[in-house]
Structure 1
Amino acid sequence: MKIRTVIVDDEPHALEIIRRYATHIPELEIIGACSNALEAFQMIQNTRVDLIFLDIKMPRLLGTDLVRSLKSPPLIIFTTAYQEYAIEGFDLNAIDYLLKPVPLKRFLQAIDKVRHFLSADFKTTQSIETPADASTPPVAHYLYIRVERRLLKINTSDILWIESIKDYIKVVTADKSFQTKQKISVTEKLLPLGEFMRIHRSFIIPVNRVEGYNPNHIVISGTQIPIGRNYKQICAQQFNPDTGFLYRPQPE
């Protein structure tokens, strides 16, 4: 799979370094190189972009402001000489943050994170479109979130529920919970289809973890999670509304 990539930097030398590094990665397809964020904005509106190497401190429009202006930004790797922008970059859910001059080793590490992210998403799509062989073990799917300035990899099979708290989400597993600044609507798109469902504007749950149900809440690991008014019908279709308990089809 080709990763359609744009490089954005107002320093020609820094732009050329990233372009040269990219020649070592066959799946990186450099579809554009921009000297400012406004030029990059126009390119993103007119073509599909999977990944941006983005400088932050540029004239007219900062790289961070470019990301904020995009409704559905592609994957972002910030490249900058200013370490003080790191926290802001991570708050925008960047895949990585590279300090100039960028060493080849750090570049390759950042690309490895991109591969993991896209590979998980691709495998999920394949598992939906291709009938599963009973002899083939299920493919693991991972959710990547930014926690304390690092990218955390969570196996989605470990998730009990995801809760939205204002501009943050809390991902709850059996052992611990993790909080990150991210919209629940964005998180919902990163989860494997058919395995998770939204039952409330503030809650996403894995269907196979549900232990009990009634029209007002479901139970996971002994915890009651509310069902939102706008989600009651879809929950009624998923679960048995007559008995008040989860309907689990018996294996043939």
Structure 2
Amino acid sequence: MQLKCIAIDDEPLALELLKEYISRFPQLKLVHTFDDAISAVELLRNTRVDLLFIDINMPDITGIDLVRSLQEKPLIIFTTAHKQFAIEGFELDAVDYLLKPINIDRFTRAVHKAIDYYKYKNTPALEDNDCLFVHSEYKLVKIQLSEIEYIESLEDYIKIHIAGAKPVLTLMSMKKVLEKLPADKFQRIHRSYIVSVAKVKSIQNRKVQLSGGVELPISDSYVNFINSWKKN
């Protein structure tokens, strides 16, 4: 597997550094570099690119505006010397945000995150995935499915409760997250709750008790969960 990538930066030294770092990864194939965003637009609109390294603060058009203009967006890793752009960057679902000067260790973590996310997005069968990727607190978070206890709906957000760790809050609907989860491992028991079937310790009086001690109600619409759980 190789991810086709391009790099855009108006600073020659920064662009050379990106080229040198990218060359260290056999999983990446650098197809082009640009020292201005305008020149890159046509290629991005007419050529499939898997991963884009792009500076944010550039003349003519910012990296953020360029990404917003794309109908088909590759995976994005923003590079910049300005911390204040982080929020805008992650509103565009960027994989990562690298602050200049970029060191190789930080670059490596970003690349591995992009590779993992690419595999996740391009895995045809949900059952082959053992993790869930969500955007939370301006970063892409990888969550192991085996660590999820239950998922709670909070209007436009969901809260993913993880065994022994802080819950993860992300902007997503219950319907959308169910599409990303294997149906034999996660089931809805209430309009506000999805549970990990493996974490259900007991059911009594239409209430699920999870292995971590949390009790959750089973609503009328999902009462069939009780019979399906008994068969496991």
Taking structure 1 as the reference length, what is the TM-score of the superposition?
Answer: 0.65
Deviation at 1:171, TM superposition (A): 0.9
Question: Conserved in 1, the CA contact under 8 Å of 2:190 and 2:217?
Answer: no
- C-alpha separation in 2, matches of 1:150 and 1:17: 23
- C-alpha separation in 1, matches of 2:41 and 2:188: 32
Q: Secondary structure at the match of 1:102?
A: coil
| 1:105 aligned residue | 105
- Which one-letter code corresponds to 2:19 in the other structure? R
Aligned partner of 1:142 among 128, 131, 136? 131
| 1:50 aligned residue | 50
Deviation at 1:223, TM superposition (A): 0.9
Matched residue count:
226
| 1:134 aligned residue | none
- C-alpha separation in 1, matches of 2:78 and 2:153: 26
Deviation at 1:96, TM superposition (A): 2.1
Deviation at 1:53, TM superposition (A): 0.7
Distance 1:101 1:250, change over 3 A: closer
| 1:136 aligned residue | none
Equivalent positions of 1:74-153 (< 5 A) are 74-119=74-119, 125=124, 128=127, 141-148=130-137, 151-153=140-142
- C-alpha separation in 2, matches of 1:42 and 1:191: 36
Aligned partner of 1:223 among 201, 216, 219? 216
Q: Secondary structure at the match of 1:14?
A: helix
Deviation at 1:225, TM superposition (A): 6.1
Distance 1:176 1:112, change over 3 A: closer
Deviation at 1:23, TM superposition (A): 1.1
- C-alpha separation in 1, matches of 2:183 and 2:46: 28
Find out whether 1:63 has 2:63 as its counterpart. Answer: yes
Cα displacement string for residues 119-168 of structure 1 (whole angstroms, at most 9, x for unaligned residues): 5556x647857xxxxxxxxxx72224455565543211222333454554
Structure 2's unaligned 5+ residue stretches are none
Question: Conserved in 1, the CA contact under 8 Å of 2:3 and 2:50?
Answer: yes
Structure 1's unaligned 5+ residue stretches are 130-139
Aligned partner of 1:161 among 150, 155, 176? 150
Q: Secondary structure at the match of 1:85?
A: helix
Identity, % of aligned positions: 38
- C-alpha separation in 2, matches of 1:36 and 1:198: 48
Q: CA RMSD in A?
A: 4.1
Distance 1:7 1:186, change over 3 A: farther
Distance 1:171 1:102, change over 3 A: same
Deviation at 1:226, TM superposition (A): 5.8
| 1:182 aligned residue | 171
- Which one-letter code corresponds to 1:23 in the other structure? S
Question: Conserved in 2, the CA contact under 8 Å of 1:121 and 1:190?
Answer: no
